[in-house]
Structure 1
Amino acid sequence: MTNPVFLVGAFGVALVLTLMGFMAPAAVLGDIIGAWSLSNAQAGWLGGALFVGYIATVPILTAYTDRIDPKWIYLTCAAIGAVGNFGFGLVADGLWSGVIFRVLTGIGLAGTFMPGLKALSDQLPPGKVQQRGSTYYSSFFALGSGGSILIAGVTAQYLDWHWAFVFAGIGGLCALLTVAIILPSKEPDPAAKDAGAALDFRPVLRDRAVMSYIVSSLGTAWEVFSARVWLVTFFLHLQARMAIGETGWSPSVWATLVALIGVPAAMVVGELCVRYDRRKIVMAIALISTAFAAGIGLTTDGAYELTLVFCMIFGMSSYGRSATINAGTIAAADPARRGSALAVLAFIGFSGGILGPLAFGVALDYTGGSGDPLAWKIAMGVMALGGVITFLSLLAAPRSKINGG
């Protein structure tokens, strides 16, 4: 039951199941706005509620995985996340009840994604097996977040939008049962209790090697979530100029493919980083990501097919480096403070996921709006800053420790 391949596969499936409700509102937002008579601003509150719950609790929940068996944190929060999804689909009837249940869903994600990574890494042998397992597990995030849009959209099309969240709740319960069965309990490392207060993050913040990965994660999330939020609208802008029948798949399908192509890319990048110099590989991929993010904007007036190719390469280089950054953080961190390191990673990294789309939207608004090709060029340039942040962070890192154990 503790075979590494089995554990990583089971945890990856559980991660996808817990993410079924993650981006579901994006797929059915029009239906929710109509059903609850929401303004665009109120819809924005609803869309951001999950991130409020996540950001507010992830440092505490992940840090305490050094002191408490992470299995119980995971199971408790998986249940909370399931309640959030079931409540949104079956109980919520307006803005604030919807916000409350989405906050609960965010708390559920905060207690399963990074604590799940900590629980998995604790069960894997240190070294290459642990690094591979951490990379493969993290790569499933792109699959789960992208799949949540498709599943919710198809469910709403054939049933009703409420069922998208009911199925997400069922997925959360399946993840809970999976982890409850396959994850052995583990007593916390006694050294962790002697390492200072659980929420004292100063040793992590002083560790330059760990912080280089954490700041590079901010840059990666800046790009990844900018694409997640804005690519559908970008493809709509491109397809609006084309004749009917020439556009191919819908914008949501293309945006999902950009995310999903990052899953195999992340596994390949992770394997390269296990075999060779992680720092150099991630820096090179960050530069590729920067170039193609900017290139997407520059091809806005060109051939649609070329823009799609650039988007796919950007998806591979942005989503593809996220998982190996998580693995690098684990490898570089003091084992007694691994939970604290992942807590800081989750908080600062996810902050990039909030700031990136916001900066993208501001750039779009202030340079001509979503109908102006020049505005999209500038906004894509803003998105490309994420790769620059990753590159500079790793460039300044101490080389003696940056490639991890």
Structure 2
Amino acid sequence: MKRTKFDGWLAGFCAARVFNGFVFMTYAAALPLLEKEWGMSALQAGAIASGFQLGYAISQVVFSSIADRVSARTVYLGSLFATGICSLAFALWARDFVSGLILHTMVGVALGGTYTTGVMIIADQYESANRGMAVGFFIAGTSCGYALSLAISGITLPIGGYKLSFFLTCLGPMLAWLVAWITLRHTVVHVRERQSGQNFTREVLRNRRAMLLICGYSFHNWELQGMWSWTPAFMAACMGAAGAVGAKAAGTGANIVALFHVTGLVASFSMGTLSDRFGRARVMLALATVSMMCSFTFGWSLGMPSFVVIGIGVVYALSSIGDSPVLSAALTEVTEPSYLGSALGLRSLVGFGGAAIAPLAFGAILDWSNPLHNGHRLYLTWGWAFSVLGLGGLGAVWAVYRYGKMRESL
């Protein structure tokens, strides 16, 4: 019998997601210091973030396809353990641009089996009527992990620099594996057999509703991943404009972004639950529209009063992450269960593949819009870089609007 409410099993599953979320923000939180200590340009800094996203995207395709054939539980636990090992390697040996690029990409590759397989496990365990709530709590666990990671970095960066911050946040994935193993040790996750006449083209590529959701998720992810990769550095720049310097500016910026992730945590489970009640399309469209508007606004707020910048950031965080669980829950409902892993894999390839370019594009536009002055860039103009993310937000609005119209016609 499937689950219908938040219970101890879901609490444990989400707790593992919290610990696993620590490593996603390890690099972004320390970025203002790493640019100086590792002697990187904004383009190089963006390349490390993009390497992580690209590795994450490609490995999700592989892991998701495997999970259609074997238990998603097996893939999920194996990927979590690999993430724990790679994260500790990154903490101990990433000391310059080249080592950082290689090791951070390895972390992204290992992480690839921890997201889509988690959604598959929840889809197997929960009824459709309550699935938005369950996926919402799962993704809220990610935001909680981001927030705690940034809070840890905010404390440790001024004390022990990036090395201490790396080590403490990179312990999270191994703790996640332990919690997940305890939670799932008695859980049976079914493998759906494929019937005669079914194939990937028919069940996914020609499924117009699924493809619109995959398209919407891809545009959404361009905006979301670019925003999360660079917002800590942007907030550090805002703190610098307000008078803070060096590690203090980076630490304060990380703490403020931790607040944004707490907002995202609330948005994930609340919007997932709201979509169970009011419909997926309506909630997605509202959130995508607000997020797009924030992308075109946020970067131009540098130099404004702190409460204005933080206020926009809170709304940005709420709207940009809030549609993640809704998009995921909707895809599980319009896709044949035996091809769900393949659909999620395609979504990851397109969504995270495009998102891998977003931090790089952001960094390139940031360099272009802040010319050199006496051999240095002051990075006082951020609006054009954030506007590049807004183009993805515009695409997401279009995709979810078309999805909603199609549901109405059906």
- What's the TM-score, normalizing by structure 1? 0.84
- Correspondence 1:2-401 to 2 at 5 A: 4-29=6-31, 39-40=40-41, 46-90=48-92, 98-124=100-126, 126-158=127-159, 161-168=162-169, 170-183=171-184, 184-186=186-188, 188-192=190-194, 200=200, 203-242=203-242, 250-297=252-299, 299-300=301-302, 302-368=304-370, 371=378, 375-397=381-403, 399=405, 401=407
- Deviation digits for residues 212-258 of structure 1, max 9, x if unmatched? 2221112222222222222233334434443569x9x8222222322
Q: Is the 8 A contact 2:130 2:276 kept in 1?
A: no
Deviations 1:290-316 (A, max 9, x none): 223323345446444223212211111
* CA shift for structure 1 position 330: 1.5
Once residues 232 and 93 of structure 1 are traced to their aligned partners in structure 2, the CA distance between those partners, rounded to angstroms, is 20
Whole-angstrom distance in 1 between the partners of 2:314 and 2:352? 23
Mapped contact 1:139–1:320 kept (Cα < 8 A): no
More deviation, 302-311/114-123:
302-311
CA contact (8 A) 1:88 1:101 kept: yes
Decide whether aligned partners of structure 1 residues 194 and 78 sit closer, same or farther in structure 2, where only a CA change above 3 A counts: farther
Deviations 1:138-190 (A, max 9, x none): 22222223432332453455557445454445432322222222224536434
Uncovered stretches (5+) of structure 1, i.e. residues with no partner: none
Gaps of 5+ in 2: 372-376
Q: Note if contact 1:21-1:168 (Cα within 8 Å) is conserved in structure 2.
A: yes
Paired residue secondary structure (2:7):
helix
Does the C-alpha gap of structure 1 residues 389 and 15 become closer, same or farther in structure 2, counting only changes over 3 Å? same
**Identity percentage over the alignment?**
22
CA distance in 1, matches of 2:399, 2:69: 30
Query: RMSD in angstroms over aligned alpha carbons?
Result: 3.4
The one-letter amino acid paired with 2:283 is I
Q: CA-to-partner distance for each residue in 1:304-361, whole Å, 9 max, x for gaps?
A: 4223212211111112222221122122221121111211222222234223333333
**Per-residue Cα deviation, 1:249-301 (whole angstroms, up to 9, x for no partner):** 82222223223211102222112111012212211221122223323345446
Residue identity opposite 1:211 in structure 2: M
Deviation of the 1:73 alpha carbon: 0.9
The TM-score normalised by the length of structure 2 is 0.83
- Note closer, same or farther for the CA distance 1:296–1:31 as it changes in structure 2 (3 Å cut): closer
Q: Secondary structure at the match of 1:189?
A: coil
**Greater mean alpha carbon deviation, residues 214-223 or residues 76-85:** 214-223
CA gap 1:193/1:62 in 2 versus in 1, 3 angstroms = farther
Contact kept? 1:135, 1:266, Cα under 8 Å: yes
Partner secondary structure for residue 23 of structure 1: helix
CA distance in 2, matches of 1:201, 1:139: 32
Could you tell me how far apart the structure 2 residues matched to 1:396 and 1:315 are? 24
